Structures are given as structure tokens and as C-alpha cells.
Structure 1
Amino acid sequence: MLFIDLDLFKGINDTYGHDAGDAVLRAMGERLRATLREQDTPGRLGGDEFLVLLPAEHAQRDAAAVAARRVADKLMAVLPQPIDWQGHTLALTLSIGIALYGDAEDPEVDQDDTQVDSAQALLKAADLAMYSVKQAGRNGVAFFDPAMEAAVQQRHQMQRDLAAAIDAGELRLYLQPQVDPQGRIVGAEALLRWQRADGTLVPPGAFIPLAEETGLILLLGRWVLHEAARLLQQWQADPRLARLRVAINVSPRQFREPDFAQQVLAAVRNHAVSPDRLELEITESVFLDNIDTARGALRTLDDAGVALALDDFGTGYSSLAYLAELPFDVIKIDQRFVARLQNPTRQDEAIVATILALGRRLRMQVLAEGVETAAQEASLLTHGCHLLQGYRYGRPMPREQFEALVLSQPDEG
């Protein structure tokens, strides 16, 4: 069985309207019938999804796989050819998943239901194979592998566990020191960690992308926001902690919430903390959809006194334009530039020096992240870097450890 999905079909509907989408679907159906053999059975599952059922002509699995791949390759060559519609050229690609009968048999199925369940299992296997193509970037062909199903089940379980982690009290804020040129801690970046009930830490790379994809990032983002504000409130009792600023990362999806600025201001107000003690780290990607909406939200936050940092500076396309238009207080030099300062070329030094000079001219602080060595630190300080962050000053650590580190510093003279 071949499971065919038209990549980015929704974009055609959104751009040209449903009449264009219907024209694409009709063309796909006609091309399927023209390309397949008489003994092959095509069908439309729904939306932009099609199925092709191939006859069982091969006793050996390898031979069946070769035959199925041959059909898939033929469809990949014919179906994506551009379609002319009312003066427009409509182009798309395909993601095709292939499952062979016997790939996903369930040994626990009742004998009376074997035929139905085998068909359902075959469809599910082909769907999973197609999904793996999507995950790999679309426009390709993949065979079902039993490991795919295990991975999907594991992913769904993690999604359920993550949704429950907030109420279960399994989320933690770890703090990584940010220091001034004299090496004194002046703030921290708050980083989300998930510690399961058994004490094991789930790596951020294992759950943050999942949260972004499923929308759970909104719940996590709100938790981080309120937890950071609560932390700042508690620090007010000690002058050595009350002077610190806490920076939190804002995901593009979170920033695009219509009431995002109001959420931030409510958290600051409800915890009775000074807005300038909270810093929002925002990447360029949040502005790509609607610069006007972003400008409005940032102006509201800036007017209230919330600190704003442009994260990963230098890695996007339009950072300079954003610096001119938007009210940032801090520029964060991406750690990839900092890493190159270990054995810098003249160009590496020039790039960092230019960013630092730009920050001074715009009256913004510049923070270098990813500082690990004395050589990197020396280069940054030589060029006048305001703030530094990285393993040289401490890895992300639990709150108690961070507070002890701050309180162990000698008093300022």
C-alpha cells in the first residue's frame, strides 16, 4: 500500500482559493489513473491524501518492496508536475509512505477480525511511513519500519507526561549566571528543566520541540513567566539578590498570542516586582509573520519598563532592521560567533568588534553567550563587551545552588 500526501496543499487553498485546490485534486486523480496499471487500485482517502493498493504479485518481500518502490518513483516523477490554473502555475511535492502486507500484523487480533484489522494495520503502517517523510522535510518516499510505530507511541506518551508535568510539580527553573566585566553575577538566564518523579532529568531537546509542535509550549511558557516573577518577588527580601535580573526565553508561538504583553504585565503586577528585573529574550523569528503586531507588543512592554533582548543576534536575515525599529535593551551575541574567538581570524575579531560597537552606538548592552575559555573572555572584554554568559561562569544550576553562588561573592567595595 502507498499512502500519498500532497505537501503544502493548504498553502494553495489559502493563496488561490478552494477552486484551485479542487483543480489540483482532480489533476492528481487523473494522473494517478493514467500512471498506474489496470491491476493497481487508486483511491482518495480524504482531503489531500490518496491511497494506492498494489496486488500481491510477489512471494518474496524484497521483490514486493522493489516493485512498490518502482511505482512510487513513477508517481514522484509524474504527479508533482506543475498545473496551470487560470494563469497561475501551481506546483507541489509529494510525501509517500509504503507498507507491505505483513509489516504490521497484530498477533493478538481475533481470527474472526483478521481481515479487517490487517487492512487497518496496513493503512496505519503506510500512514506512519508517510509521516516519517514529513518529519524528514517532505518530498520523498519511505518504507514502514516497526521502529516508527514505537517512536510514535513513545512520542505520544511523552506528550501526555509533559502535559501532566506542570500539575505534578515536575518542572524546574535552572539558572545560568550572567556576569559583568569584573566577573560579578548581575543576573541569570532561566532555563526550563523537566525532572520526573524518579529524579531523572529529561533533556530540553527531547521535550521543547515536542511542546512547540503540539502547542504545549504555551502552557510551559506561562509557567516559566510566572515562576520567574515569583522568584524575583522572593529575592526582594535580600538586597544581594534583589539587584539581579532574570531573563526568560519567549517562543515565537507564545509571543504571537494576542494578549502576550498583557500576560507579562499581569505576572509582574501580581508578584509586585519591578518590571526592569524581568528580561524577555526574543529571537528574530517572532517578527517574520507580522512586524506591526510585534512592534505593538514590544512597545507596550518597553513602555512598562520590561527589559527586552534580541537573542541569537547575527544568525538571521534582518537583525539590523529590527534593531532600528524595535525597542531592544540588550543584544545577545550568538555563541557560534563566541566559539570562533578561541582561535580567531581577523574576520572573526572584526565581526564581534562591529557588533559591540553597534551596541554602544545604539546605547544597548551587549551580552556574549557561550563563553567557555579565558581566551574568549579576553577577546570580548578587549572589545568592550558588557555582559558574559557561559560555562566559564557556571552551567545552568538549581536555584539553591545559584543563590549560594551569588551570596558567596564578596561585597562590592
Structure 2
Amino acid sequence: MTDNRDKQISEARFHKLFDDTQAMSIQGYRVDGTVVYWNAASEKIYGYSTNEALGKTLYDLIIPHEMRDEVKQAVAWMFQHKEGIPPARLNLRHKDGSTVPVYSSHTVVSLPYDEPIMFCMDADMRALEMAEAEVQRLSYYDPLTELPNRRLMLERIASMMRNANGERAVAALLIVDIDNFHSINESLGYSYGDRVLVSCARSLQCFSSTADDLARLGKDEFAILLPCSAMSFADAAAEAEQLATQILRVLEEPLLLEQRTHQLNACVGITLSQCPSDLAGDELLRQADIALKTAKRSKINTISFFDQEMEVAVKERLQLSQALNHAIENQELRLALQPQVNQKKQVIGFEALLRWQHPKLNTISPNDFIPIAEATGSIIPIGDWVLEKSCEMLVQWATNKAHEHLKISVNVSPVQFRRGDFVQRVEEILKRTGASPHNLRFELTESLLAENIDFVIAQMERLRGLGVSISLDDFGTGYASLAYLTQLPLDELKIDRAFVSDLDKKGKGELLTETIISLGRSMNLDVVAEGVETHQQFQRLQDMGCNYFQGFLLGEPRTDVSGYLE
């Protein structure tokens, strides 16, 4: 009798312990998963009251659908072997459908003359996971500005160096320093200084392409990473210098906080690196920091490169940029026209090619000045000038019956084309000059198709509505796919010179050229082959069915084309 009473007291104690435990969900299940025990903590963690849970199965209550087969196998194994399985972190289901992360332990209690019961003891991990997430955030983010910190920037650099796409692309790392920031803290207080740093961080976020390309390194220093996009050191240097100039312009705007205006000054140190590379992130930061110290010591330059050769390239680029701003007014630009011919070598039109002859810098290649014009925006007035001069030539040719059929092809920069007023500008120039739009053709590059294809198509349709025809230049080297090609309102495809030059080698270019010609003819498009330099190329292109040709064999670009019109 005493033994039974002691057993009842012991069971009551354990029930009291299980029922009152707030930190641990304890459930009891039969072999088929039916709930026979459900303590108060289970109600709190999973949302079901004891009355709701009793008689239901754990599969209906807390096991996500995708886990049911696996859990049923585990439960069957435990009842068969009368023992539990190792504890584990599981994502179970709340009554409201949300996920409940728990650390779950299991055991099977089997007593004589009683059915075995599986007990599950689940610790709620939500608070722990939130704490872990906060620790993780503090490990990688600056608590004041909420920007990535030095550690995350180093990991970002390492990842970029390992996983860079493309062939030996070049990345840039910029360190931005707020000059004499300590004076703000000393004169106005640290809380005011913190607000200035937050304001600077928000301004810099406008210049980062992704959330982890900008970091606060500490105190008043920020780092910005330009990923591997440029294909040469010169291009990367130009892009980084342009970005640094924009950053300084924004940071040096008067800052108003608490009715006080403060004038900030800043310096930028820049380093470049080829990708992929074994160069460590710490080394890149060190190089950029050396460049930054050079900029801070200088009383003239607020932007400095770690590589002195890049500084020379940037200065040369700045010189070209400044000279380009006056190229039109100083009458330094010229149009050179290269003839386009048919199979009988009869001239059917010309491509207008821009030339720049500077009185001191001599002849400057379009490959050098066009990217600068696009980056600085001077391509807009220059593009208008090219179009106007081309239209004036069309008007001149129209006065001669023998030449009124001639077309002129004008290259259009993506920077021009993406402007909302581009079509309006074209229409105004056509009206002002009186040129026939049916003799004007715009050559667009495939890079236009990399973004906002709907806008591109709409612009092209508006141009064709004016009577202007459209050519897709260097087809096969860029972004165009057959899916895009069928959508575009085109009149012409131009075969890139790289494919044409490959014809003599019997390489892949021959197959690609033949495919483009066949594709163009099937879509009722004119096809022009560029870069024709040998009689063999000219004959092979004719055999493939190409009708129009352009290249040094048939005529080189000239500013005076009277010889081609005889």
C-alpha cells in the first residue's frame, strides 16, 4: 500500500513539474502519433490549448507537410527500439502556420502493463535565433550608420576576387575620408558628429551599386567598391575618378543640422586591381589608404591613385574632357564618310564617322574621346552636331539627281538614345535642315538591349514613324538574342568586322557570318558586312548572299567624298 502511495506521489510530482515548466514544451504521443499529454509551455510555443491538442496527432498539429514521412519513420523506429533519437534543431509549425524553430529531444517510456509513450521535449529557439542574428549583425555592420563594417568589406573583396566573371576585368576600391572631422566632435559634441556621419553615409549610399559595396571602416572613413566591370586599368581609373569627383561634390554641399550649416571637405584614395587575383582585401585597403594619405597631404588634389601611372592617365583624360567641351565652338570636329556599296561596287550610301583634330593634342581617336563624351554628357551636343552635319549633306546630295538616292548612316550613342527627348531633337534637326528622313539611317549598338527593352522598341518605332530607318550595328557581338531580334523594328543588320576578318581563316566567323546573312534575308532586312579588306572576303560574302559591303577595299573614310560621287 505504501509503495502505491509513493508511486502516486512521485507521478504527481512529475506531472506538476511538467505542467509548470514554462521554458520547455513537453508532449506525449502514442505509437500512432496521438497526443496524450500537452503541457502549458506547449500551448505557448505552438498555439494549441491542451483541449485542442489532446486526441489529435502530432502530424496534424506541428509537423510541416514536407517533414511528415521522415518523422513517421523516426517515430516508428523509436517505438520499435524503445529508445529516443539524437536531439536536433527542427523547424516545426505553429497553429497560425508560422515556423517555430526548436531544439527537440525525444525518448520512449515503456512500463510493464502500460502502453509505451513517446515524450518530446522542445526548447523554443526563437529568442536564441534573434540573439544570434543580432550578434551576427553587430559582427558585420556598423551600429551607428548601419553600413557594412571593415570585416564585411574584406569578405566582399575576397568573394569578388575569387568569383570574378569575365577575362581579367579590373575593380577599384575607394576610401573616402572626411577632413578634420575631429574638430566637429570637439567643438559641437559627439552626438552632433554622429549625426554628420549618418548624413554622410546616406549620401554615399547613392553611389554604391549593392548594399555591401559600401562600408564604414571606422571613425570618419568609408570604403566604396567598384566591382570588376571595366576591361582595362585605364577604363577602371576613369570610372573611379568620375565616381570620386561626384562623391566629393555631394559631400561638400553645405550640411544643415539643427539650424546649423556646416561645410565638409573630403579626400579620396583609390587603388585598382585585376580580377580574379590572389591579392588580399587587407592589401587593397592598405594601398587605398596610402593613396588617401597622399591626397590629404596635397594642397591641390583631393583625389589620389595608389598607382602613379593611373594618375597620369586620369590627368590626360581630364585634359581631353576639358578640351572636348570646346571642340564644337572651336570647329575642331569633322565628319569622315566611308562608302557602302552593292555587289557591283556602286556607292549606295555612307557611314558618318566622327573625327577630332585638336590644335595641340593632334588627331584624337574616337576610341579615346567617345567614352569620355558619354561619361561627361558632352555626347549630347556632339551627337546633335553630327546629325545636323549629316542632314546638311543629305540636302546637298538631293540637289543632284545622280546622288539623291544616297543614304547616310549615323552612329547613335546609348546615352543619346536613352534620353526622353531624343526623338524630338531628331525631328527638330530634320525640320531645320530640310533633309529627307528616308535617306537617314541610325546605327544602334547591341548594348542598348541590355536594359528596358520596351523603351528601346518604343523609341525605335517613333523614329521609324518619322521615316528614319534603323540598323543594328556589330550584330552578334553583344546582347541581342533571336527573341529580341524578332521584336525590334529593324531595317538592317551589320556584320561585325571581326567575323569578316575571320573568313580568310576559315574559322567560326565564317559560320556566324553565313548565319547572320541567312537570318537577315529571312526577316527581309538589309545586311551590310563591315571591314571588307580583301577581294577574297568580298567574293566569299557575295557567295553567301550578302548584298551590301563596307571596308578599306571599297573605300576608306574621307572628309571630302567628291571622288566617290563621280
TM score, norm. by length of structure 1: 0.69
Question: Which whole-Å CA distance do the structure 1 matches of 2:144 and 2:457 have between them?
Answer: 38
Structure 2 residue aligned with 1:121, among 288, 293, 298?
Answer: 298
Deviation at 1:296, TM superposition (A): 1.0
- Paired with 1:31 and 1:49, the residues of 2 have a C-alpha distance of 9
CA distance 1:22–1:363, shift in 2 (3 Å): farther
Q: How does 1:10-409 map to 2 (within 5 A)?
A: 26=146, 28-29=148-149, 31=151, 45=178, 46=200, 47=204, 48=214, 73=280, 75=282, 97-99=288-290, 119-121=296-298, 124=301, 127-129=303-305, 143-145=306-308, 147-197=309-359, 200-345=362-507, 347-398=508-559, 400=560, 402-407=561-566
Letter in 2 for 1:174: A
Measured at CA, do residues 304 and 97 of structure 1 come closer, stay the same or move farther in structure 2, by a change above 3 Å?
A: same
Describe the shift of the 1:283–1:119 C-alpha distance in structure 2 as closer, same or farther (beyond 3 A).
closer
Question: Is the 2:531–2:550 contact (alpha carbons within 8 Å) kept by the matching residues of 1?
Answer: yes
Structure 2 vs 1, CA of residues 383 and 150 (structure 1 numbering), >3 Å: closer, same or farther?
closer
- Highest Rg: 1 or 2? 2
SS of residue paired to 1:261: helix
Write the letter of the residue equivalent to 1:404.
G
Whether contact under 8 Å (1:170, 1:196) holds in the other structure is yes
Q: 1:74 to 1:252 in 2, by over 3 A?
A: closer
Report the CA distance between 1:184 and its aligned residue: 0.8
User: 298-307 vs 24-33, which deviates more?
Assistant: 24-33
Aligned residues, how many? 317
- Go from structure 1 to structure 2 and tell me whether the alpha carbon gap of 1:165 and 1:43 turns closer, same or farther (over 3 Å shift): closer
Q: Is the 8 A contact 2:349 2:407 kept in 1?
A: yes
What code does the residue aligned with 2:565 have?
A: V
- Displacement after TM superposition at 1:74 (Å): 5.4
Shift of 1:196: 1.9
Distance in 2 between the 1:283 and 1:212 partners?
A: 14
SS at structure 1 position matched to 2:409: strand
Counterpart Cα distance in 2 of 1:319 and 1:30: 41
Identity of aligned residues (%): 37
* Unaligned runs of at least 5 residues, structure 1: 1-19, 36-41, 54-71, 78-93, 105-117, 130-142, 408-413
Preserved CA contact (<8 Å) 2:492 2:527: yes
327 and 198 in structure 1: CA distance in 2 versus 1, 3 angstrom threshold:
same
Question: Is the CA contact (8 Å cut-off) linking 1:44 and 1:51 kept in structure 2?
Answer: no
Distance 1:376 1:330 in 2: 20
The residue identity in structure 2 corresponding to 1:169 is Q
Moved more, 372-381 or 347-356: 347-356
Task: State the shift of 1:51 in Å.
Answer: 7.0
Question: Which one-letter code corresponds to 2:452 in the other structure?
Answer: N
Residue pair 1:100, 1:122 contacting (<8 A) in 2 also: no
- AA of the residue aligned to 2:288: G
Cα separation, partners in 2 of 1:348 and 1:285, compared to 1, 3 Å: closer
CA contact (8 A) 1:311 1:333 kept: yes
Q: CA distance change for structure 1 residues 33 and 278 in 2, over 3 Å: closer, same or farther?
A: closer
Q: 1:198 to 1:236 in 2, by over 3 A?
A: farther
C-alpha deviation, 1:264, in angstroms: 1.5
Q: Is the 8 A contact 1:176 1:190 kept in 2?
A: yes
Q: Kindly state the Cα deviation for residue 377 of structure 1 after the two structures are TM-superposed.
A: 0.6
SS of 1:164 mapped into structure 2: coil
| Conservation of the 8 A alpha-carbon contact between 1:44 and 1:50 | no
314-323 vs 258-267, greater mean Cα deviation: 314-323
What SS does structure 2 have at the residue aligned with 1:268?
helix
Instruction: Report the AA paired with residue 404 of structure 2.
Output: A
Kindly indicate whether the alpha-carbon contact (under 8 Å) linking 1:99 and 1:144 is maintained by their aligned counterparts in 2.
Answer: no
Quote the Cα distance in structure 1 between the aligned partners of 2:286 and 2:441.
42
Using the alignment, how far apart are the partners of 1:311 and 1:23 within structure 2?
Answer: 50
| TM superposition shift of 1:344 | 1.3
Contact 1:284 1:319 in 2 (8 A): no
CA distance in 1, matches of 2:502, 2:154: 56
Partner of 1:68: none
Q: Is the 8 A contact 1:99 1:122 kept in 2?
A: no
Native 8 Å contact 2:149 2:215 kept in 1: no
SS at match of 2:438: helix
- Cα distance in 2 between the residues matched to 1:262 and 1:100: 46
Tell me if the contact between 2:500 and 2:530 (Cα under 8 Å) persists in the aligned partners: yes
Higher relative contact order (CA 8 A, sep 6+): 1
TM-score (norm 2): 0.51
Is the 8 Å Cα contact of residues 440 and 468 (structure 2) preserved in structure 1?
yes
Q: Is the partner of 2:288 in helix, strand or coil?
A: strand
The answer as to whether partners of 2:339 and 2:350 remain within 8 angstroms in 1 is yes
- Counterpart-to-counterpart distance in 2, 1:290 and 1:170: 35
The answer as to whether partners of 1:279 and 1:307 remain within 8 angstroms in 2 is yes
Between the aligned partners of 1:279 and 1:159, the Cα distance in structure 2 is 29
**Does the 8 Å contact 1:43/1:50 carry over to 2?**
no
| Maintained 8 Å contact 1:335/1:371 | yes
Q: Is 1:190–1:248's contact at 8 Å kept on the other side of the alignment?
A: yes
Task: Give secondary structure in 2 for the equivalent of 1:192.
Answer: strand
The two structures, once aligned, show a CA RMSD in angstroms of 3.4
How far the C-alpha of 1:198 sits from its partner, in A, is 5.9
Q: Give the deviation of 1:350 after TM superposition.
A: 3.0
- In the superposition, relative to structure 1, how do residues 23 and 261 fare at CA in structure 2: closer, same or farther (>3 Å)? farther
Pairwise CA distance, 1:32: 9.1
Structure 1 position 387, deviation (Å): 0.5
Counterpart secondary structure, 2:441: strand
| 1:223-245 Cα distance to aligned partner (Å, 9 max, x none) | 11111111111222222332210
**Structure 1 residue 24: deviation in Å?**
10
Distance 1:98 1:326 in 2: 49
**AA at the equivalent of 1:160:** Q
